[in-house]
Amino acid sequence: MGSVMIMAGGTGGHIFPALAVAERLRVAGHEVFWLGSSQGLETKLVPEYRFPLEVLPIAGIRSTSITRKLQAPGQMARALFKASRIIKERRPKVALGMGGFAAGPGGLIAWKHKIPLVIHEQNSIPGMTNRWLSRLATKIYQAFPDSFPASKNAQVCGNPVRQEIIDLPDPKQRWQGRGTSPLRLLILGGSQGAKILNETVPKALTLLPNNLNIQIRHQTGTATLELAQAAYKSHGIDAQVVPFIHNMAEAYGWADLAIARAGALTLAELAAAGLGSLLIPFPYAVDDHQTHNAAWLVKAQAAHLLPQNTLTAESLAQALQPYIQDRTQALKLAQAAREQAQTTATETIAEACTELATIKKHLF
């Protein structure tokens, strides 16, 4: 079937959608290898899924640091040289870019060798790497409409989501038997964690009436795990606090409501699972893309937006209370989320790679 080079890294928002496609390609008979950066989360996650991993000596070049800007040309040159060596040795038939630092040099070298290049943009506003690569790409896919100009002929396909999340039962079916049991609240800080959630959520819970019991699962990221654990303990709240959730399908299926950042992958998974949410976009994301992402579910009445600049423990408690007092309100959000699910992105992107793998345009 031919070899496919997947370029994705940095954060879970790039890596997990790419892993979903990689798994589909492997099942279809392709040899798949990964091109990432030496500093990204991919160095931990990709080997767990048994994909060969090659890394480039590159980090973010979009920086306000003078030192980083001065280092960028040399860093890019080294990354391009290594990417060229890897591609000549591995000889992929297709390159798939799904965001992250390594996708830039990897995609450029693939294009230079006339290897078909497919890119997928997860966010409503394209990242810098995908904006560059869109000029070279054979096919362009986008999760949200109008991420790219119409002239790019980008196809809307949603975000790839792991099959076990797509396969979760309908929210109404999951709700059966929960009755008047405590609301199950899932807090997602993303792979890098969210300090404001660690600080604000425990305090907000103390402001709710004592008879409003809640079960808590809070994913913090590694860096802020101990601080979050201490915050819950100081407020006398029993919560399951973990740095990372390996079985996201189980967590989504367990929950009644989520509090989360508005990364593209998180939103796609919330929709696929059928789980309502209170969304707190990261305000310092490039081009404020998380706020733009969140608008998709908010407009569909599947989520409630809480901007970070106005977020307080009091405002969060006020937003939570209706869903705790009346579980059917959380169910309405969940059902609206499920109606927004786009579940064919993995198949669409994998099929495009398979089709292009048969084209004999590459130089070797």
Task: Please indicate whether the domains covering 4-160+343-358 and 164-340 agree at the CATH topology level.
Answer: yes
Report which of residues 178 and 21 the model is more confident about. 21
When the candidates are 3.40.50.2000, 3.40.50.700, 3.40.50.2300, 3.40.1800.10, the CATH number that belongs to 164-340 is 3.40.50.2000
Letter string b/e over residues 278-316, b meaning 16 or more CB atoms within 10 A of that residue's CB? bbbbbeebeeebbbbbbbbbbeeebbbbbebeebebeeb
Determine how many CB atoms are found less than 10 A away from the CB of residue 275: 29
Is the CATH number of domain 4-160+343-358 3.40.50.300? no
User: Which H/E stretch holds residue 257?
Assistant: strand 257-260
User: Quick check: helix, strand or coil at residue 56?
Assistant: strand
162-181 tens-digit pLDDT: 999 999 999 999 999 887 78
- pTM over 0.85? The answer is yes
**Res 178: pLDDT:** 85
pLDDT band at 70 (very low <50, low <70, confident <90, very high): low
d(CA 7, CA 53): 10
**Res 67: pLDDT:** 62
pLDDT band at 352 (very low <50, low <70, confident <90, very high): very high
Beta strands 183-188; 214-219: pairing state = parallel
pLDDT band at 124 (very low <50, low <70, confident <90, very high): very high
**Res 58: pLDDT:** 85
Burial of 322 from C-beta contacts in 10 A (0-12 / 13-18 / 19+): exposed
Residues 359, 83 contacting (CB under 8 angstroms) = no
Report which of residues 1 and 345 the model is more confident about. 345
Q: What is the mean pLDDT of the chain?
A: 92
208-240 tens-digit pLDDT: 987 567 999 999 988 888 889 999 999 889 999
**Res 296: pLDDT:** 96
CA neighbor of 331 nearest in space, from 215, 170, 214, 188: 170
d(CA 158, CA 141): 8
97-113 tens-digit pLDDT: 999 999 999 999 999 99
* Residue 299 neighbours by CB under 8 Å, 6+ apart: none
d(CA 218, CA 320): 16
Q: Map out the domains of the chain as residue ranges.
A: 4-160+343-358, 164-340
Percent of the chain beyond pLDDT 90? Answer: 74
Residues 99, 127 contacting (CB under 8 angstroms) = yes
